[in-house]
Amino acid sequence: MKKTINKIKKGSKKIAFSPILENLTRMGYGARGLIYCIIGLLAIKIALGASGSLQDQQGALASIGQSLFGRILLGIILIGLVGYALWGLTRAFFDPLHKGKSFKGILERIGFFISAIAYTILIPPTYNLIFNMPNAAQNGAQGIQIRNIINTIFSIPLGKWIVGIIGIIVLGISMFQIYKGFSYHFDGQIKQYALSSKQMKIVKFMGRFGTLARAVVSVLIGVFLLFAAYHSNSLEAKGIDGALSMIMTGSYGSWLLGIVAIGLITFGCYSLLIGLWFKYKKIT
């Protein structure tokens, strides 16, 4: 049994650091970067007083589809989404980065798994958008998906408690993201090349600021889940667009939304730079 487990671990490392998955993951970081850049740019427009609606991830994909060469870009993004989802599952289950089984390590691995699921969910609507099929990516669909999933969970025994636990997990991961933003954390599986120390500092700052902005949005999504669980009402659960709308309606809403939007753009640019300027460092 031990030999079998060791073989699986060795095999997972080979897969995790194979050139194919490495390139797919780079494309995945690029896809993530484009999505967050578009969400942030549209949020800044709203913060500055422009008309329109705040976007979630599917809304960003729909915006890309309407652009010049939209289908080509969506095709590249689709491949990237698959790669990023695979990388997330590999990190969550096989732990090639040796996060371990400590509380911090388990929290990170749960985060990898949730991220993988989130990007997997984006694959079908992206595919449908490319080929003009039903259920294509559209703005607001993320919130609808979340509410449908919650209604399904509510229909099973202890469903209310399960939704509450999910909300607590999302909040826990969000708090860990805040910790990463303030603790100068930098991904251990990547190493720099073709970057000066000054450029590296800039990229690290982008990662920290962007991570904090994304964490703010994630905290609100977790709070929405807790409210949905407490009131047994799926309509209280919201996605990224709902979180940004909540920021906008608060005191100094336009200013706060603008800051978060800049942070999301920064996170998007940071993700793009990971795909372009970094390569994975094998951890033995």
DSSP class per residue in 225-266: HHHHHHHT-GGG---HHHHHHHHHHSTTHHHHHHHHHHHHHH
Say which residues have a Cβ less than 8 Å from residue 66's Cβ, sequence separation at least 6: none
Per the CB < 8 A criterion, the answer to whether 62 and 241 are in contact is no
One pLDDT digit (tens) per residue for the chain, 284 residues: 666 666 666 666 666 667 787 788 889 999 999 999 999 999 999 999 887 788 888 889 998 988 878 889 999 999 999 988 988 888 888 877 778 888 888 888 888 898 899 899 999 999 999 998 888 888 888 888 889 999 999 999 999 999 999 999 999 989 988 888 887 655 555 565 666 778 778 888 898 999 999 999 999 999 999 999 999 999 999 989 999 999 998 788 899 999 999 999 999 999 998 887 766 655 44
pTM here is: 0.87
DSSP 18-76: -HHHHHHHHHHHHHHHHHHHHHHHHHHHHHTT--S----HHHHHHHHHTSTTHHHHHHH
SS3 191: strand
Domain span at residue 54 reads: 2-280
For the chain, what is the domain count?
A: 1
User: What span, in angstroms and rounded, lies between the C-alpha atoms of 265 and 244?
Assistant: 14
Token pair belonging to 22: 């490495």
d(CA 150, CA 152): 5
pLDDT tens for residues 101-114? Answer: 888 888 888 888 98
